[in-house]
Amino acid sequence: MSIIERLSKQLEKPKEQRPLGSGWLSGGGALLAGLTGLLLVFVLKFPGLFVTPDLMAIHESGYLRPFLHIVLLIGYGLALTSLLLSKDKVLGGTALALVVVASLLGGSQTNASGANPTSLYFGLDFFILNVLFVGFLFVPLERFFPHRADQTLFRPEWQEDMFYYLVSSMLVQVLTFLTLAPANFVTGAFDLNHIRSLVMALPFVVQVIIIMVVTDFAQYWFHRMFHQISWLWKFHAVHHSAKSMDWLAGARMHVIEIALLRGATALPMFTLGFDPAAIQVYVLIVYFYSSLVHANLRWDFKAIETFLVTPRFHHWHHGKEKEAIDVNFAIHFPLYDRLFGTHHMPEGKWPEAYGVGGDPVPTGYWQQFLYPFRKSG
Ligand SMILES: [Zn+2]
Ligand SMILES: [Zn+2]
């Protein structure tokens, strides 16, 4: 059995086999700290390759190195705790090895080598931030208020979805470029100065709300098209192939679909003269919101479900049963589904199962990447 398989097996242990004091929690925590530490060392060592320019403020704040130092110390402490407590030493041992390697590479004192800033970068720092922030918010929430209580953090196919998370975060620059290309074309081809000056004069919060309303309209029809046209559906079916819904499941999306979706929804955003800061706030809202609507949370959010998309609303979109097919396309405002006749929210009910009927989509990132290009079977 490979080390990865042994690690997965340990992490996926059912709750009753890992009571408090069994070294599982400290081992998992140590592994998270070790991985975070090692990735951060890479970010510091190869800033030209892994740093997202939009996050420059964080890199220049001077907090990153002390943060890394603390992460490595915590990782070291937790790894030793797990090694003492646990019968199977694979979690604690691997975590300890990661912390040691990160320290040998210089730890928080590591120096940049190959620092030449390049025009091509992979946002490893963005991935770390994304997973830590969203994870630290949703992991405890899903643990204490689950919709499906038997589902754990390391449910089947969690590695695949984590890999999707990594790919889409690291390709943030490539995807932004693809997003901007059509917008630049439209700005060049039409004279929109009048509308642009009107938009620029609006208050910040109003701009963010308008961006949400306009992009969700574009997104609604784009999404519906991906359900209706069969060759597009094969790309989108990847997103629907998730059988477990949680904060990670939303990341599962074919990279081509992300590029097309961003291109289409960004068109109104970038051509109508919105404040770039308002666009950035919107992008952060989307990241958070996407995790929320896929999350394994039992709350109905009754007070807001008429106006805003809730987990139950989007869970129905992922339902496997007949009544859940082609409903609830909106991402922010259920109003669009009401207007266009695709709204489905049976009182107090949740779908029985998630996924695509007949399970046509294979498992694994690369199999799913190739799936839309294969002859249908
Ligand atoms: Zn869909
Ligand atoms: Zn979804």
Cα dist from 202 to 101, 211, 279, whole Å? 51, 12, 14
CA of 294 to the centre of ligand 2 (A): 6
CA of 318 to the centre of ligand 1 (A): 7
CA of 63 to the centre of ligand 2 (A): 35
Supply the pTM of this predicted model. Answer: 0.84
CA of 148 to the centre of ligand 1 (A): 21
Cα separation of 48 and 121, whole Å? Answer: 7
CA of 314 to the centre of ligand 1 (A): 9
CA of 9 to the centre of ligand 2 (A): 27
Kindly report the number of other CB atoms within 10 A of residue 16's CB atom: 6
CA of 238 to the centre of ligand 1 (A): 10
CA of 199 to the centre of ligand 1 (A): 31
CA of 230 to the centre of ligand 2 (A): 18
Task: DSSP for 104-135, please give it.
Answer: HTTGGGPPPSS----S----HHHHHHHHHHHH
Say which residues have a Cβ less than 8 Å from residue 335's Cβ, sequence separation at least 6: 307
Say which residues have a Cβ less than 8 Å from residue 23's Cβ, sequence separation at least 6: 81, 82, 83, 84, 85, 86, 87, 91, 92
CA of 317 to the centre of ligand 1 (A): 6
CA of 251 to the centre of ligand 2 (A): 8
CA of 132 to the centre of ligand 1 (A): 27
Is residue 368 within 8 A of residue 362, CB to CB? The reply is yes
CA of 305 to the centre of ligand 1 (A): 19
**Ligand number, closest to the Cα atom of 248:** 2
168: left (phi over 0), alpha (psi -120 to 50) or beta: alpha
Cα separation of 17 and 92, whole Å? Answer: 17
CA of 250 to the centre of ligand 2 (A): 5
Query: Tens-digit pLDDT profile for the chain (377 aa)?
Result: 788 888 888 888 888 888 888 888 899 899 999 999 999 888 888 887 788 777 777 888 888 888 999 999 999 999 999 999 988 888 899 999 999 999 888 888 888 775 555 566 777 888 888 888 888 999 999 999 999 988 888 888 888 999 998 888 777 667 766 666 776 777 677 777 888 888 888 999 999 999 999 999 999 999 999 999 999 999 999 999 999 999 999 999 999 998 888 887 777 777 888 888 888 888 888 888 999 999 999 998 888 999 999 999 999 999 999 999 999 999 999 999 999 999 999 998 999 999 999 989 999 999 999 999 987 65
**Ligand number, closest to the Cα atom of 225:** 1
CA of 227 to the centre of ligand 1 (A): 6
**Ligand number, closest to the Cα atom of 237:** 1
Element (H, E) at 83: helix 64-85
**Ligand number, closest to the Cα atom of 236:** 1
Smallest CA-to-CA distance from 289 within 204, 364, 219 is with 219
Task: DSSP for 45-81, please give it.
Answer: H-HHHH--GGGHHHHHTS-HHHHHHHHHHHHHHHHHH
**Ligand number, closest to the Cα atom of 233:** 1
CA of 161 to the centre of ligand 2 (A): 12
**Ligand number, closest to the Cα atom of 252:** 2
Residue-range domain boundaries for the chain: 3-119, 172-373
Cα separation of 149 and 43, whole Å? Answer: 37
Is residue 15 within 8 A of residue 78, CB to CB? The reply is no
Say which residues have a Cβ less than 8 Å from residue 314's Cβ, sequence separation at least 6: 293, 294, 328, 331
